Amino acid sequence: MKKLITSIFACFALIILFSFDAQAQEALKQKPSPLGMVTYTFEDTYVKVTYGRPHLRGREAFTETAELAPLGKIWRTGANEATEITVTDEIKMAGETVPAGTYSVFTIPGAKSWTIILNKDVGQWGAYKYDEEQDLVKFEVPVNKSDEMYEPFTIRFDQSGGEVSMQMIWANTMVSIPIEF
């Protein structure tokens, strides 16, 4: 009888062990709009941008009827949660003073220029609860064409000619925000 109970217990333990092993082997599925993060450091100042990276996947962006980021409408500047920028010391973006802190980044894409908005309300999902009263700074930057086609929305820092800029690029559209440290 003791051997029977031991055998049943051993079989039960093996079943549990193999069921955990089977679950551990399942591949994680990549999100349709994976998380992106880009950083830049100048002396003691650190800038970090965290954003969702939507892909075009045959859809249009930056037209009046676009499914993604239509012209003239507030956009979370990426996918999922609103894009956030963190700065550890005061900087200037397009001439506007940005104190140390973390801010949501919203944009209003336009055909010739974009409105860039840094908003004090962080942790938002999309732009559904965007509150203009929480805006820290709001400024315009011109639209440029990218030399390359970008399938995923991309934010990057560019340092050329002794100047630093934060670039937002998608499809063949690019905006560049000058940064002063």
pTM: 0.82
Q: pLDDT of 62-103, one tens digit each?
A: 999 998 999 999 999 999 999 999 999 999 999 999 999 999
β-pairing, 45-52 vs 35-42, is antiparallel
Q: What does the alpha-carbon distance between residue 30 and residue 33 come to, in Å, rounded to a whole number?
A: 8
Q: pLDDT of 18-73, one tens digit each?
A: 555 445 556 666 667 999 999 999 999 999 999 999 999 999 999 999 989 999 99
72 DSSP assignment: T
